[in-house]
Every structure is written in structure tokens, then in C-alpha cells.
Amino acid sequence: MKAYILKLTFEDINPLVWRRVILPAGATFNRLHETIQYATNFQSEISPYHSFGVEIEDNFITNNEAILDEYKGKKYVGRTVKQPTRIKIDSFLEKHGQFIYNYDFGDDWRICVKLEETVEDYYFGYPTLLEGEGTAPPEDVGGPPGYKEFLKVLQDSTHPDYLSTYAWAEGQLYLPLDIEKIKEYLKIVKYKKTEWQYIDHENYFVLSDKYRGTDWIDLDVLPNKDLLIRYAVACVNLYGSIEYPKLMEIYNSQNTPSVSSSELHDLLTNPLYEKQLEEKYVFVYENALIHKTMEEFEDQTQFIQSVVGKPFYVPGKKELLRYTDEFYYEKTSHQEKLAKMLEKDFFGGSKFTVKKEIKELVLELQVVHANVQQVLQKFLTRFQMKDMEHLNEYAQMIFDIANNTRIWENRGHTPEELFQMEKHYLKPMPSTSLNVIDGGKTGRNDPCLCGSGKKYKKCCGK
């Protein structure tokens, strides 16, 4: 079957973004449009609000309904308006070698479509993405100038608009290039009959092909399987839940060789490795992994949706893999200060007992939807404070620890970190001290100021 290998290159943006695709001859301009949409982060196939246009020879080929209606039988930009579903790209490619695909007349994206090679040995009735480079811009970012500013903000976590920009980008499905996933999407753009008689396949399962590779994932030869499982466990322990694309992105950013989305999916859903995950309290949930604790919630999807828009805290490889231990937590100076206070005031210098106290406290603060006031109350009722000043000192320290504890609701970030990223987005937990009354003393029969609801003499005043 005759087919064209095309290179699609975004113009006027940096870093360079390009895709190389192969598609059977006979594609209309509309089929080319669909191919480009699936090969990028554009979404007109999902939300058909934006149109495209190609100016070539005496033609303006577009799917813009307003232009098609208004300029029927007339000239637009000096050219005859034509529908993309009726004109094939073949003769224009072979004659000119390249042309510009203009998408979204507001943002004005320009993609150079260049013919690199014509082949006769492609047998699939739909396009295939062969390779590419760069994350394609999101929809409605404002064209090349807007994209430049978008990247400037997204690459600077100290920018006041960082969190809102990150949330917007996630909502726009701004995703890194995933060749395997796009190859699956492009099967939808089918306009010719696949010639299976020329393809090495078994029951339409491709065993090997020059252009599409293979549908077979041989887990026996997949490198770093145990490391991939460790990453899955560590990420779930750190985030509570993680979708496959993000897990793949994190793993590939820290390891070689990289893993593809299809390889990762087959590994995580393989019964042998799925059992290994479950032994670590990690479970497959739709296109994500979740911690067993999530089963206690009525709607796991609700939690997953509640964290959308918050950036992931991604530590280095060594630190990240420490989270394979479900009880691991990052040590902070606030914890050390509290430990010294406890050693001095209540445990006679016993570091082992104090270590257990700090661990229990941090793990309680990490619980989903943890009530810091209740954790504080529980902690304070176990110790006899000398006075309200002493009580306030401990209360303040626990709030400081809470503000600097990595939690699932923040995708591994601490409340303080998100607060510093964008101060109007999320405030850290309150750290106001407990009020001292009656000249610094609390009456024995007064309500305890730790918030327990008990009398002082029955609570912190014991």
C-alpha cells in the first residue's frame, strides 16, 4: 500500500516540537487534521470549537463552518473556499512537498507538514506515529506568545500564578508525548482497509511490523521490572493515588531505558505483579493505582478528582524509593525540636520512646482529611503540662509539624510548600497559640483550652 511519511513541525515555538507520522495515501485534509489533533495536545476532536485552514495554490481548505457558509462560491483571502472532506492531500504533497496547516485562527498555530518519503510497504488503513520530540502546547494557551509565557510560569514554582497555571494545564490535558498511546488513538482515523495478508500477525494481533512494531509485550525481557514495581509502591505511599501516565513520567525522568505506556500497563495488570502490589497495599483502580486505605472512602474517584490541579512533589530517585516503606516519612527540624522537648520534659532522655511518639504523631497527621485539632487534643491529653505557656509551646510545635508534613491531599507537598507557591491558593494550618487567661493560669473547672471539651482539671491539668 502506498503511504506518505510526514514530518509535522510547530513553527515559532521553543523548544522544538515535532512529530513524524506515516499515513496511507488517499487521506483527505480532514483526515490529516484528525491525525494532527491526536498527535498533539489539541482537543478539537473532543471539543470541536476550533477550526483549521490550509492555503495552497488557489484553494483555502477549511472546516470553519462560518467561512464555508459566507464564502460559498466566493473568494476568501484571494482563494476558493473548499471543504476538507472532499479534497485529498496526495497531489498537493507530491507537487509541493510541504504546506502550512493553520489551526485555531485565534491562537494562530502554524504547523509545517513536510513530505519526507513515499513508501509502498505500509499495510494499515490508518496513520501511525513513528517518533516525535517535545510536549505539544495545550489548547487555548494563546498561540506561540501565550505558550512562551505559559512555559515561563510553569517552570517557576515561585511564580504567583504557578498553581493556577498548573491546574489549568492539567485541565487542558497538557501531557508529555506518549507515542504508544497516540498510536492507539490513531486507529480511529481509519479510511482504508488494512491489508492483513501482508502483515505478520496472529488473529489481528500484530507480531512484528516495520512501522508499527508489535502488539506483543514480552514481560520476561522487560528490563527493571522490580524497580518499576518499587516505583509504583513508593508513589502510591507518597501520593495515595497515581495515574499511569504520571507514574511513567516520573519513572522515565529518573531511569533508562524508559518504559512505554503499554509496557507499564501490561506489567501492572499482570496477575503476578498485581499480587506483588497488593501485598504492599497497592491496588489497580481503573487507569490508576491507589492505596488500600482508599477503600475506606465511599468514592475513590472523588478523592482522585479532589487533588487534580495540585502539582506533584517529586523527590530525587534515592529519596523517592524510601517511600517503598509504608511507614517512612521525611524528617524535619520541627520534629527534632519536639523530640528534644519530649525527652527533657517527659521521658528522661529516652530517645527510643520519643521516636515512637513522633512517628505516631506524623502518621496521624498524614491520614487523609486529618483533623489537626483532634490530633493535637489526643497528643496533649497524654501529657501533664506545667502551665498554659508550656501547653502553648507544644501546641505551636505540633502545628508547625503539621504544616511541614507531606500529605496525600497535596500530592506529596506540605501545606507550607503550597502556601509559599501561591499564598492566596492554600493557607497553611493555623498556628495561633492557645489563649492564656486569669494572668497566665487556667481555672481548674474552666474548659480546657486544648479543645477537648473537658474541664481543665480532667484534661491537660491532671
- Tell me the C-alpha distance between 236 and 354, whole Å: 28
**Tell me, what amino acid is at 336?**
E
How many percent of the chain have pLDDT more than 90?
A: 76
Residue 247 banded pLDDT, cuts 50, 70, 90:
very high
pLDDT in tens, 356-376: 999 999 999 998 888 898 999
For residue 261, pLDDT beyond 90: yes
Residue 428 banded pLDDT, cuts 50, 70, 90:
low
For residue 348, pLDDT beyond 70: yes
- Tell me the C-alpha distance between 76 and 295, whole Å: 59
**What local confidence, expressed as pLDDT, does residue 450 receive?**
47
**What local confidence, expressed as pLDDT, does residue 451 receive?**
47
pLDDT in tens, 282-339: 999 888 999 998 776 656 777 878 898 999 999 999 999 999 999 999 999 999 999 9
**What local confidence, expressed as pLDDT, does residue 381 receive?**
86
> Which residue reads 499515513 in cell numbers?
23
CATH 1.10.10 fits 219-321, yes or no: yes
Instruction: Single out the residue of 363, 386, 383 nearest to residue 375, CA to CA.
Output: 363
C-alpha cell at 17: 516540537
CB-CB contact of 366 with 406 (8 Å): yes
- Tell me the C-alpha distance between 49 and 38, whole Å: 15
Instruction: Single out the residue of 107, 130, 110, 215 nearest to residue 179, CA to CA.
Output: 130
- Tell me the C-alpha distance between 112 and 98, whole Å: 7
For residue 232, pLDDT beyond 90: yes
C-alpha cell at 49: 470549537
Angle between helices 351-366 and 372-380 (to 10 degrees): 160
Instruction: Single out the residue of 454, 419, 443, 431 nearest to residue 157, CA to CA.
Output: 419
Number of residues that make up the chain: 462
Helix, strand, coil share of the chain (percent; to 5): 40, 15, 45
- Tell me the C-alpha distance between 78 and 185, whole Å: 36
For 7-10, which contacts have Cβ atoms below 8 Å and span 24 or more sequence positions? Answer: 7/112, 7/113, 7/114, 7/116, 8/36, 8/39, 8/101, 8/111, 8/112, 8/113, 8/114, 9/111, 9/112, 9/114, 10/109, 10/110, 10/111, 10/134, 10/136, 10/137
pLDDT in tens, 151-202: 999 999 989 899 999 999 999 999 999 999 999 999 999 999 999 999 999 9
Exposed/middle/buried for 154, CB within 10 Å: 0-12, 13-18, 19+?
Answer: middle
Question: Looking at residues 210-214, what average pLDDT do you find?
Answer: 96
- Tell me the C-alpha distance between 37 and 151, whole Å: 21
**What local confidence, expressed as pLDDT, does residue 109 receive?**
97
> Which residue reads 494557551 in cell numbers?
141
pLDDT in tens, 431-445: 544 443 333 344 555
Top CATH class of 3-136+177-197 equals: alpha beta
Residue 462 banded pLDDT, cuts 50, 70, 90:
low
pLDDT in tens, 83-140: 999 899 999 999 999 999 999 999 999 999 999 999 999 999 999 999 999 999 999 9
CB-CB contact of 212 with 131 (8 Å): no
For residue 47, pLDDT beyond 70: no
Give Cα 107 distance to the centre of its chain: 25
Alpha helices in 240-371 (DSSP H): 244-254, 261-268, 271-279, 300-306, 317-321, 333-345, 351-366
Instruction: Single out the residue of 420, 231, 234 nearest to residue 329, CA to CA.
Output: 234
Average pLDDT, the chain: 90
Question: Looking at residues 28-55, what average pLDDT do you find?
Answer: 90
**What local confidence, expressed as pLDDT, does residue 436 receive?**
39
How many percent of the chain have pLDDT more than 70?
A: 89
**What local confidence, expressed as pLDDT, does residue 419 receive?**
87
Sign of the CA dihedral 292, 296, 301, 307? Answer: negative
For residue 48, pLDDT beyond 90: no
